[in-house]
């Protein structure tokens, strides 16, 4: 579908609902006009305030103090106070109620006249004198005599009285105007608007809104001035409070610092022998060395235990006992600190003679200790003695083998040498074994001593660590208190530096303290109207009116369930389609019912010819030529379709008979210009024949039978046998027979005739016939076993179709 067709379709929808569109637009525009008419004008006046904050000059050079822009946090605080603080609003109300201000002081009388009256009385003595009848006589002095008044002074007093009276009148009028406008604390605060000026530092736009444009600028200036004074006064008081608070903080921090330092020094005095300030534990290294030494001695002790077990087993086999005793015979000395006073002694376990006279040295010589003991193996005489023993044994065996006397004597000598060598080796073994066992005892006692010292070192390390932890805690407290003291002192210094600064100069005068410098850079001069915004309201009203109207139009169009296009027909109806019939314009056609004849070259005539062609190609009409034209409801143009379709058939193939079968509201006779008289009802009632009722029309090839007199029982007549005979007779005499019947939903006439015709065609008026009505009409036929053979879509507009069937006729109708 082209863009032009879519736009044309939208315009057609708007034309269809033009009344609704116009009503909605007028209603919304009227509502907007009433809203503007009822809205009271609101005016706004604004002033520009500059808020600055003194800070330190960190760049060096120049003045010691300097003003820079206020920080964003401080500016937000000031904006909040300007909006929410009630005190400036109260003082502004008082100042605005005073209006013109205070009356100037009256003129001073010349000496020695009495003092002039006070301003509240506003009545000078001269006026009192005139009111009492003493005008011009003067005023009494201290002595009771009248003093004449200076004429110039009298004139000044008279002028002063006039000014005072005018001042009172202006003040009374001003207060009345304020009361009428309704300036109160609550309303004034609710009308305040403050905002920082974009792209500036510290510049604030302060504005008020009101319905009175005359008093609004003065209200803005009064409010801004009272805020400026109140802010400076409160910040000065706040500075005093902060200064006292910071001084108290500094004093408390100083006391806590001295207490922490005293506790730390007192703790150090208890540990004078240990340098806790170095933060190093000297006992840790000693404990580590002793632990390493214990691990080495334990390994040696383990080796000694193994060796001692072997020695004990060998001594037990030889019947020898090793005794380790102190040299002085004291048991305490054996387990004391003097490890050098320990000695090992060897003795035979049994009494002499119990071991066949074997001596200690012989037993040691025979024991395996001689071979196993390392100290014995390393002795220089052991190998010599063993060689002597082997030689003596070998010589003894040789002499024993000789068996002679000389050999016996030699054997004695050899055996004596063998015994002497064994005894000497036994002595060496005994001495080496005593030394070895003594060394083992020394190492065991040394291990025990090192373990004792290790335990002592661990205790000392733990005690030192505990003391060091306490010292570090005290030192940390001192550092914390020192930082707090330094911070309090710095805060106090910064506070004084900032709040004692004025215009970039140092000033120690307390009266010159100013925390903020607030100035009115641009006072309010005039008020401008801000509400209602007439152009905005008018524009929004126009837009709302258009949107409301269009929305309602398209909403109604969306809720409309009529068949509006071929797409709707295909989607919701689904019946055989014969063609479109354009909407017939009375401007182009003299009669709607004969449009196909009055203008054969028009698009309407071409549309009926297209429908005729579609009917000719209907397979159901290969044998019959009786057609029934009806509609779902009234007013859908079925009679117009029937007459124009009969005209199209008459121009193609004649003769064609058009029968008005609507015995309730007939219209064919009027459409074709035929007078009332005999008709179909007459034939069905047996009062006339076909020849009596057939009438010629102004259209060649077309004849018609009107409905005749309206009977009381149309359905019974149409359902009778005479109707069957009538259709059979006209079917033989005419090429085409077209019946115009009442709507399907209204009466049952069309359903009665559906079984007696060759084809039934349904007329649907686009944009009028609803889908529910069509469905009921089709169901009324299908319930009796008949269906619709074709549908003609009537009253089609140019925008209703995207197929362009009728553009051909428009382009080529003159060919």
Reported as a single tens digit per residue, the pLDDT across 423-467 is 777 777 777 777 777 888 888 888 888 888 888 888 877 877 777
What pLDDT is recorded for position 630? Answer: 93
Tokens 């409309």, located at residue: 560
- Contact, 522 vs 47, CB < 8 A? yes
What pLDDT is recorded for position 62? Answer: 44
Which residues lie closer than 8 Å to 93 by C-beta, 6 or more apart? 183, 184, 185, 188
Higher pLDDT pick, 41 / 186: 41
Q: Which of 351-355, 504-508, 686-690 has the lowest mean pLDDT?
A: 504-508
C-alpha 815/C-alpha 804 separation (Å) is: 19
Tens-digit pLDDT profile for residues 201-258? 888 998 888 877 887 888 888 888 888 887 777 777 877 888 888 888 888 888 888 8
What pLDDT is recorded for position 513? Answer: 43
Maximum average pLDDT range among 150-154, 172-176, 417-421, 483-487: 483-487
Which residues lie closer than 8 Å to 415 by C-beta, 6 or more apart? 392, 396
What pLDDT is recorded for position 409? Answer: 67
Maximum average pLDDT range among 275-284, 501-510, 652-661, 708-717: 708-717
Tokens (6 digits) for 81: 């106070």
Maximum average pLDDT range among 220-229, 279-288, 648-657, 689-698: 689-698
Peptide bond into 398 cis (omega under 30): no
Collapse the DSSP code of 142 into the 3-class scheme (helix H, G, I; strand E, B; otherwise coil) and give the result: coil
**DSSP-derived pairing of the beta strands 320-326 and 505-506:** unpaired
Maximum average pLDDT range among 18-32, 250-264, 337-351, 509-523: 18-32
Which residues lie closer than 8 Å to 729 by C-beta, 6 or more apart? 690
What pLDDT is recorded for position 507? Answer: 43
Q: How far is CA 258 from CA 216, 244, 469, 479, in A?
A: 62, 21, 21, 11
% of the chain at pLDDT higher than 90: 8
Tokens (6 digits) for 754: 């559906």
Higher pLDDT pick, 548 / 113: 548
Segment 88-100 shows an average pLDDT of 66
Name the band, by pLDDT with cuts 50, 70 and 90, for residue 58: very low
Segment 603-614 shows an average pLDDT of 88
Q: At what angle do helices 151-181 and 86-98 cross, to 10 degrees?
A: 130
- Contact, 77 vs 51, CB < 8 A? no
What pLDDT is recorded for position 628? Answer: 93
Q: How far is CA 682 from CA 50, 451, 657, 658, 756, in A?
A: 106, 148, 17, 16, 19
Segment 344-367 shows an average pLDDT of 63
What pLDDT is recorded for position 26? Answer: 93
What pLDDT is recorded for position 531? Answer: 82
Q: Which of 146-160, 180-194, 344-358, 376-390 has the lowest mean pLDDT?
A: 344-358
Backbone angles phi, psi at 689, to 5 degrees: -105, 180
Higher pLDDT pick, 218 / 332: 218
Tokens (6 digits) for 479: 């550092």
C-alpha 672/C-alpha 766 separation (Å) is: 25
What pLDDT is recorded for position 102? Answer: 56
What pLDDT is recorded for position 337? Answer: 41
Which residues lie closer than 8 Å to 208 by C-beta, 6 or more apart? 44, 45, 46, 188, 191, 192, 193, 216, 219, 220, 223
HSE-CB of 445 using CA atoms within 13 angstroms: 21
% of the chain at pLDDT higher than 70: 72
Tens-digit pLDDT profile for residues 779-789? 888 888 888 98
**Its pTM surpasses 0.85:** no
Q: Which of 58-72, 86-100, 301-315, 768-782 has the lowest mean pLDDT?
A: 58-72
Segment 22-41 shows an average pLDDT of 90
Segment 478-507 shows an average pLDDT of 73
Segment 143-159 shows an average pLDDT of 69
Would you say residue 567 has pLDDT above 50? Answer: yes
Residue 252: how many other CB atoms lie within 10 Å: 14
Q: Which of 371-375, 570-574, 669-673 has the lowest mean pLDDT?
A: 371-375
Higher pLDDT pick, 744 / 341: 744
Tens-digit pLDDT profile for residues 533-558? 888 889 999 999 999 999 998 888 77
Q: Is 757 exposed, middle or buried (0-12, 13-18, 19+ CB in 10 A)?
A: buried
Tens-digit pLDDT profile for residues 685-739? 888 898 899 998 888 889 999 998 988 888 888 888 899 999 999 988 898 999 9
What pLDDT is recorded for position 810? Answer: 43
Peptide bond into 607 cis (omega under 30): no
C-alpha 591/C-alpha 670 separation (Å) is: 11
Would you say residue 143 has pLDDT above 50? Answer: no
Maximum average pLDDT range among 125-139, 338-352, 503-517, 615-629: 615-629
Which residues lie closer than 8 Å to 452 by C-beta, 6 or more apart? none
- Contact, 162 vs 107, CB < 8 A? no
Would you say residue 814 has pLDDT above 60? Answer: no
C-alpha 756/C-alpha 744 separation (Å) is: 15
Tens-digit pLDDT profile for residues 744-792? 988 888 888 888 888 899 999 988 888 888 889 898 888 888 889 899 9
Name the band, by pLDDT with cuts 50, 70 and 90, for residue 532: confident
SS3 labels along 34-61: HHHHHCCCEEEEEEEEEEEEEEECCCCC
The DSSP secondary structure of 433-499, one letter per residue, reads HHHHHHHHHHHHHHHHHHHHHHHHHHHHHHHHHHHHHHHHHHHHHHHHHHHHHHHHHHHHHHHHHHH
């Amino acid at each position: 579908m082209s863009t032009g067709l879519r736009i044309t379709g939208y315009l057609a929808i708007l034309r269809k609902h033009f009344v609704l569109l116009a009503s909605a637009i007028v209603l919304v525009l009227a509502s907007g006009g009433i809203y503007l008419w009822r809205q009271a004008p609101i005016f706004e006046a604004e002033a520009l305030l500059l808020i600055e904050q003194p800070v330190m000059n960190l760049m060096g050079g120049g003045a010691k103090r300097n003003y820079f822009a206020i920080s964003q946090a401080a500016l937000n605080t000031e904006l909040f106070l300007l909006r929410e603080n009630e005190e400036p609003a109260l003082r502004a109300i008082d100042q605005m109620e005073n209006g013109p201000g205070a009356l100037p002081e009256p003129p001073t009388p010349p000496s020695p006249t009495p003092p002039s009256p006070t301003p509240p009385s506003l009545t000078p003595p001269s006026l009192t004198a005139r009111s009492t009848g003493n005008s011009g006589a003067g005023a009494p002095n201290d002595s009771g005599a009248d003093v004449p008044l200076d004429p110039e002074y009298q004139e000044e007093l008279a002028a002063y009285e006039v000014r005072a009276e005018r001042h009172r009148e202006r003040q009374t009028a001003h207060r009345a105007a304020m009361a009428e406008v309704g300036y109160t604390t609550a309303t004034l605060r609710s009308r305040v608007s403050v905002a920082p000026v974009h792209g500036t530092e510290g510049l604030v736009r302060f504005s008020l809104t009101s319905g009175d444009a005359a008093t609004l600028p003065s209200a803005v200036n009064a409010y801004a001035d009272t805020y400026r004074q109140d802010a400076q006064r409160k910040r000065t008081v706040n500075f005093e409070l902060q200064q006292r608070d910071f001084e108290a903080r500094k004093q408390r921090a100083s006391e806590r610092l001295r207490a922490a330092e005293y506790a730390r020094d007192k703790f150090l005095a208890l540990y004078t022998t240990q340098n806790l300030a170095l933060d190093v534990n000297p006992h840790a290294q000693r404990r580590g060395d002793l632990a390493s030494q214990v691990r080495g001695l334990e390994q040696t002790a383990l080796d000694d235990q193994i060796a001692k077990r072997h020695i004990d087993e060998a001594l037990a086999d030889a019947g020898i006992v090793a005794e380790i005793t102190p040299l002085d015979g004291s048991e305490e000395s054996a387990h004391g600190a003097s490890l050098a006073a320990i000695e090992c002694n060897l003795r035979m376990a049994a009494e002499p003679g119990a071991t066949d006279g074997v001596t200690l040295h012989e037993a040691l010589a025979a024991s395996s200790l001689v071979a196993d003991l390392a100290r014995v193996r390393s002795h220089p005489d052991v190998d010599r003695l063993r060689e002597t023993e082997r030689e003596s044994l070998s010589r003894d065996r040789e002499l024993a083998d000789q068996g002679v006397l000389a050999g016996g004597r030699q054997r004695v000598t050899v055996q004596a040498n063998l015994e002497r060598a064994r005894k000497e080796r036994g002595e060496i073994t005994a001495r080496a074994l005593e030394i070895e066992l003594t060394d083992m005892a020394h190492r065991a006692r040394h291990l025990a001593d090192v373990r004792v010292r290790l335990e002592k070192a661990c205790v000392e390390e733990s005690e030192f660590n505990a003391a060091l932890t306490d010292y570090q805690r005290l030192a940390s407290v001192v550092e914390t208190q020192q930082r707090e003291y330094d911070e309090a002192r710095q805060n106090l210094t910064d506070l004084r530096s900032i709040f004692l600064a004025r215009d970039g100069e140092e000033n120690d005068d307390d009266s010159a303290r100013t925390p903020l410098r607030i100035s009115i850079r641009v006072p309010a001069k005039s008020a401008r109207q801000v509400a209602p915004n007439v152009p905005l309201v008018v524009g929004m009203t126009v837009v709302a009116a258009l949107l409301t109207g269009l929305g309602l139009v398209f909403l109604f169009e969306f809720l409309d369930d009529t068949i509006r296009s071929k797409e709707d027909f295909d989607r919701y109806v689904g019946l055989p389609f014969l063609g479109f019939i354009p909407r017939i314009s009375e401007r182009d056609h003299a009669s709607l019912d004969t449009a196909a004849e009055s203008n054969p070259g028009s698009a309407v005539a071409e549309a009926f010819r297209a429908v005729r062609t579609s009917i000719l190609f209907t397979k159901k009409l290969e044998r019959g030529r009786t057609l029934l034209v009806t509609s779902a409801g009234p007013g859908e143009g079925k009679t117009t379709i029937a007459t124009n379709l009969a005209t199209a058939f008459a121009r193609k193939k004649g003769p064609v008979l058009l029968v008005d079968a609507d015995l309730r509201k007939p219209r064919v006779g009027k459409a074709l210009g035929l007078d009332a008289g005999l008709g179909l009802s007459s034939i069905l009632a047996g009062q006339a024949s076909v020849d009596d009722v057939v009438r010629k029309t102004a259209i060649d090839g077309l004849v018609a039978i009107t409905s005749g007199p309206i009977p009381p029982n149309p359905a019974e007549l149409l359902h009778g046998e005479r109707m069957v005979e009538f259709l059979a007779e006209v079917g033989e005499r005419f090429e085409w027979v077209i019946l115009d019947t009442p709507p399907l939903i209204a009466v049952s006439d069309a359903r009665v005739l559906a079984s007696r015709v060759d084809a039934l065609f349904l007329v649907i008026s686009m944009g009028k016939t609803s889908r529910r009505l069509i469905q009921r009409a089709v169901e009324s036929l299908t319930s009796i076993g008949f269906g619709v053979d074709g549908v003609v879509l009537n009253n089609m507009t140019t925008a209703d179709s995207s197929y362009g069937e009728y553009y051909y006729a428009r382009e080529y109708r003159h060919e």
